[in-house]
Structure 1
Amino acid sequence: MAAAQYLGVNHTTVSRRIHDLEKALGGPLLVRAKNGWELSALGERTLSLAEQAEEVLHGLGSLRLDDAAPLLRGLVRIAAPDVFSVHVITPAMAALHKDHPELDIELITATQRARQGRSGMDIEVVVGKPQVLNSVTRPVMDYHLRLYASRDYVAEHGEPRSMKELEGHPINFYVESGLQVDDLDSGRQSLPEQKEGPKGIASTSVFGHVSATIHGAGIGLLPDYLAGQHDFVPILPEDYRHPVSYWVVVRKENTRNPRVRACLRAIEQRVAHMGAGTAHPHHP
């Protein structure tokens, strides 16, 4: 259904075309999985060849008579955590789009592990080193989770001076039952257990953690490169710093795609411009 909507045709047309292609290739292109349909092994090989053919056609169509570098055209789909998407990817893609106005970007925000079945995604940015097959992975930015509070919160509740004192303060962080990333979960687990009393506000979004901290709901466990944009009081800055890294995941066949490579370069340039964490400027 989603493919039909994207192509602007009805569902039966898509089904018929897939059936005709499967008949010509002699096997199924899609297999049913827990969360819907995924590409079969034959489908993955077919997609790789189709992407190569599409790239050649786009290259021919975008050549200029003056032999200048060709314009990038076509779609790139990127999945990344929300805060990285807003502060890194969106500005990077906006800058790239000025030079390549026919480049289409679809950005899906999610804080999750890299998926083994990555059909439909050209680039994924995940938290922590991913363990995936048939892909190129590398770190793109390092940062730390640290503790922060609003000045009003400190004025009202005091500033904890030790890990023991931290036990009496609510922590704003992810919804525990929905947290799928070990590097983030271990950041919370390394803090002392909270005593009985008011709980912090849990959210599936980092921006929820920031907002809860701004409004005095507790102490926020936040990325340092984001918290630095607010007038927060660092809490236990010498005692608690939890290192985390963003990693990029790209299917091996996509490492030759000029659109994907251009997007990766733009992301790295944005990280370097921000001066946040550590950029890792080498391409897959």
Structure 2
Amino acid sequence: MVVVVGRAGNAGKTTTTTLLQTSIDLSGTNARIVEFDDQRRHGRRLSADLVTPVSLPISRELQANPEADVRALSEAFDRTLESFAEGETVIWDTGANLDERLADFLGGVGIIDEVPVDRPAVVLIMTRCDLEMIRLAGETAAVFARAVPGATVAIGLNDAHRAWSTLDVNTPVARAAAEILGPIIRQGGSMVVPAIPVNLALALRDSEVPWHILAGMNSRDAARHWSVSHAVAKVRQAELSVTLEKARQEVVRQFGFPQSEA
């Protein structure tokens, strides 16, 4: 089970979830996404049997009924247990500002006791290269570490604009990152998630074709899908293929999933 969280929008939660789901699937294990985002990008891209949509209540409903979101989280939890029974890996793509409530819920239902013993439970906190985001990521990591002590709590760095890769080590941001996130800030924090080139990430953002299919389709069909030239489509497909293979290797290495025989 992988839970992808982050207190702010545009932290890379949805893109990272897609990358992990595709990589886990390519590694030989079925992966289901539990989707909290109302934009339903995963649901438009994947078949219905791979995505469970869950609608969180809006803010005014929460103010009137503090237990309103528990029902939504319970729905996600029940479907997750069904997925475990079916041998699936489950990835929760959560909305912004859900972190502390989610930590309390997962701790309360004893999620660690439900995850199959031969599989990891990971909380991946996505953050941007920003001083306040780094501070919040550290706070979120501490909350999950207390609530779900059996899980691996990792920081995932959104390096879409190469802010992390080009970060001056003498800046306040770099010092905060070294203190809060650990010293390996250029290699993806405590979990390596291969970065997707920013132009490719933007091109994939609203694509309704599964990424592994898009990488392997006829390049002229890909050009029509993106409404770009044949040459641009071939470059994008090559970048996507490389990114997916790197991510698959990291999934196998870090999560222990088996190599695909395909």
TM-score interval for Structure 1 and Structure 2 normalised by the shorter chain: under 0.3
- Structure 1-normalised TM-score? 0.24
Q: Which has the larger radius of gyration?
A: 1
- Structure 2-normalised TM-score? 0.25
